[in-house]
Amino acid sequence: MVALAVAAVALTWDGYQLLRSKDDLAAHAAAVQSAIGERDADTLVAEAAALETAARAFAAATDGPQWWLATHLPWVADQAVPLQQAGAAVDAVAEGALSPLASMGDLSALAAPEFVDGRIDPYLLEPYRPTLAEAAAVLATEVDSLDGTDLDGTISTVRDPFLELTDQLAEVREVVNGAHAAAEVLPTMLGGEEARTYLVMVQNNAEPRTTGGIPGAVLEVSVDGGVISLERYATANSMIDRTGPVTLTEDELRIFGRRMEVYPQNVNFTPEYPRSAQLMSEFWAAEFGETPDGVLSIDPVALGYMLAGAPATEVGPFSITGDNLAEVMLRDSYLEHPDPRDQDAFFVRASAELFGRLVGGDASAVSGIERAIDEARFMAWSADAEEQQLLSSTVVGGAFLEDESALGVFVNDGSGAKIGYYVDVHTDVVDHLCTNGSVGGQTVTVTLAHTFEGDVDKLPEYVATGAANYPDGEFHANVRLFPAAGTGVIALERDGEPSGVNPETLAGRSVASARVSLLPGESTSLVFEVVANVSGLRGLDVDITPGPKPNVYSTRSDDLLDGC
Residues (pLDDT < 50) of the chain are 1-17, 19
First to last CA, the chain: 37
What was the pLDDT predicted at 364?
Answer: 60
Query: Helix (H, G, I), strand (E, B), or coil: what is residue 276?
Result: helix
What was the pLDDT predicted at 363?
Answer: 65
What was the pLDDT predicted at 15?
Answer: 45
Asked whether the beta carbons of 410 and 528 are under 8 A apart, the reply is no
Q: Please name the fold of domain 404-560.
A: Immunoglobulin-like (2.60.40)
What was the pLDDT predicted at 231?
Answer: 95
Cα 479 from Cα 470, distance rounded (Å): 18
Strand partners, 228: 223
What was the pLDDT predicted at 64?
Answer: 67
Which pLDDT tens digit goes with each residue over 364-387? 667 788 899 999 999 999 999 999
pTM: 0.92
Q: What are the respective helix, strand and coil percentages of the chain, to the nearest 5?
A: 45, 25, 30
Domain locations in the chain? 2-189, 196-378, 404-560
Asked whether the beta carbons of 177 and 373 are under 8 A apart, the reply is no
Q: Select from 211, 529, 266 the least CA-distant residue to 400.
A: 211
What was the pLDDT predicted at 430?
Answer: 97
Strand partners, 201: 218, 297
Cα 147 from Cα 141, distance rounded (Å): 10
CA atoms within 13 A on the CB side of 288: 20
Which pLDDT tens digit goes with each residue over 99-110? 899 888 888 888
**DSSP output for 229-258:** EEEEEEEGGGG--TT--S---HHHHHHHTT
